[in-house]
Chains A and B, each alone.
Chain A
Amino acid sequence: MWDFTDDKPIYLQLTEQMCLRIANGTYKPGDKFPSVRDIATEAGVNPNTVQRAFAELERSGIVCAQRTAGRFITEDCDMIYKLRENLAKEHADNYLKKMASLGYSRNEAADFLSKVKEEL
């Protein structure tokens, strides 16, 4: 499912959601990437917007265009590993910020996380 919020450009949200799918293995290294039309219809998004999101992914090297064959996800597993780590860092950063707004120090927030993990 593709969901879009109101506060950000749609092409950025598409790029983020595609990165997530590459990072979590929904799209695998070396796989062919869906076409513009497929994503546009599936997500209910304008094809030019999808094109723009693809251009972002190509620029970062996560996806490579091959002339007539379409687009492929990079086989560079290091790159995908880094992408995944960066996304995880964003989540961790958000967590720390939210905990800080509740008055938790960084150490307290980390301890809290281990405590919750054990309880679950």
Chain B
Amino acid sequence: MSIIVEARDLTKHYGSDIAVDHLDLTLEKGQIIGLLGPNGSGKTTFIKMINGLLTPTSGMILINGEKPGVNSKKVISYLPERCALPDWMRINDLVKMYCDFFADFNKDKARTMLADLHLDEKKNYKTLSKGNREKVQLILCMAREAELYCLDEPIGGVDPAARDYILRTILQNYNEEAAVLISTHLIQDVESTLDRALFLKEGTLVLNDTVDNIREQRGKSVDALFREVFAC
């Protein structure tokens, strides 16, 4: 399988704080990958570097062999941890905006998902509940035909039924030409949908293995292992 993301000795400092610490990692297409770690372990920093929103202090990050830039933004669909949409727009305006911005945006797919989750396109984004806003953001993100989906905490704020729908949507959209990187604390919910789990601890990678290998070799779920590795 071909490599979509490559991090080489990737490091990010905020002043004297080290957020990501000499990370070496490759992500392959055709995989759904869980980026797991406690608060402050560097998950969001790593995702922001993939998206070119932060520059590494040292080391490098490559997307399809290139540094983040115009080409990488064309192929990465990014769901930020917090809302980045203009909140005065209506949902159908947001759909139009995504259509204009991204050549790979599939409008029909977005419309179908909005209808499935009973989101009224005429409504103002601002008037939606927190959970419904998250759903709109995620739909816009998943309706692109991207090569890499970076989902930073995609299911944290939504109800369990919508959570199931979202995970099913991710599975339905799965194809061999795309990778999905999901950062989350809700391991139990995502575990069976993942190929691979990455554990980040204080900016370093402490585990990078497939879910079934972890279960086979340790006789426990990824969720149980996480609780053990990160016990407070």
**Which A residues are closer than 8 A to B by beta carbons?**
4, 6-11, 37, 40-41, 43-49, 52
Contacts and interface: CB of A to CB of B under 8 A. Distances in A.
A44 B164 contact: yes
Interface of B: 30-32, 164, 167-168, 171-172, 174, 192-195, 211-213, 215-216, 219-221, 223-224
Nearest to A36: B174
Contacts of B174: 37, 40, 46-47
27 contacts: A4-B192, A6-B220, A6-B221, A6-B223, A7-B219, A7-B221, A8-B219, A9-B212, A9-B213, A37-B171, A37-B174, A40-B171, A41-B168, A41-B171, A43-B192, A44-B164, A44-B167, A44-B168, A44-B192, A44-B193, A45-B193, A46-B174, A46-B211, A48-B30, A49-B192, A49-B211, A49-B212
A7 B221 CA distance: 6
Specify which of A8, A45, A46, A49 lies most central, judged by the most chain B CB atoms within 10 Å of its CB.
Answer: A46
Contacts of B216: 9
Contacts of A8: 215, 219
Contacts of A37: 171-172, 174
Contacts of B192: 4, 10, 43-46, 49
A26 B140 CA distance: 38
